Amino acid sequence: MQLPTEKVIKSRKTLLRVARAKVIRLGKLEKLNGKLMHATIGIRNGQGLLSPLISTTKGRNQFYKDKTVHLNLDTQQALQYWTTLLELANRQPTLCANLIPALADYGVVTRRRMAQAGSGFE
């Protein structure tokens, strides 16, 4: 699993631009956080770097995406670390076999189970 070079360059530029900012729109920070969460599927080391981003957005009113949020030093450092991590992870891609070590958590849904759950499809 490896990102195209253009996408890595674009993502790094975005991360650096946001990391240098002192204030950012809440919606933009949440969108960036979502992309980084998705990236942690292939880059396991990045999960710990999400904590400052999550704590910055946590407790904010989700309906006001245009409100601005002040970035603290921890969040700015985490974003800068992400730029380095993206480049390093792209040099040594993650094999797809290593992405999901556990079995799938979904089961077979039968009509009987749906009736027990009260879904109305009996």
pLDDT tens-digit series, residues 80-120: 988 888 888 777 766 666 665 555 445 555 566 556 655 44
Kindly state whether residue 77 falls inside one of the protein's structural domains: yes
Alpha helices (H) in the chain, listed in sequence order: 5-20, 26-39, 51-57, 73-91, 111-117
Question: What's the domain range around 67?
Answer: 5-117
Side-chain-facing half-sphere of 35: CA atoms under 13 Å: 17
pTM, full prediction = 0.66
Kindly state whether residue 34 falls inside one of the protein's structural domains: yes
Distance, in Å, from the CA atom of 114 to the CA atom of 111, rounded to the nearest integer, reads: 5
How many domains does the chain fold into?
1
Kindly state whether residue 113 falls inside one of the protein's structural domains: yes
Kindly state whether residue 36 falls inside one of the protein's structural domains: yes
Contact 8, 86 (CB under 8 A): yes
Per mean pLDDT, which range of 11-15, 19-23, 37-41, 59-63 is the poorest?
59-63
Kindly state whether residue 122 falls inside one of the protein's structural domains: no
Quick one: pLDDT at residue 117? 56
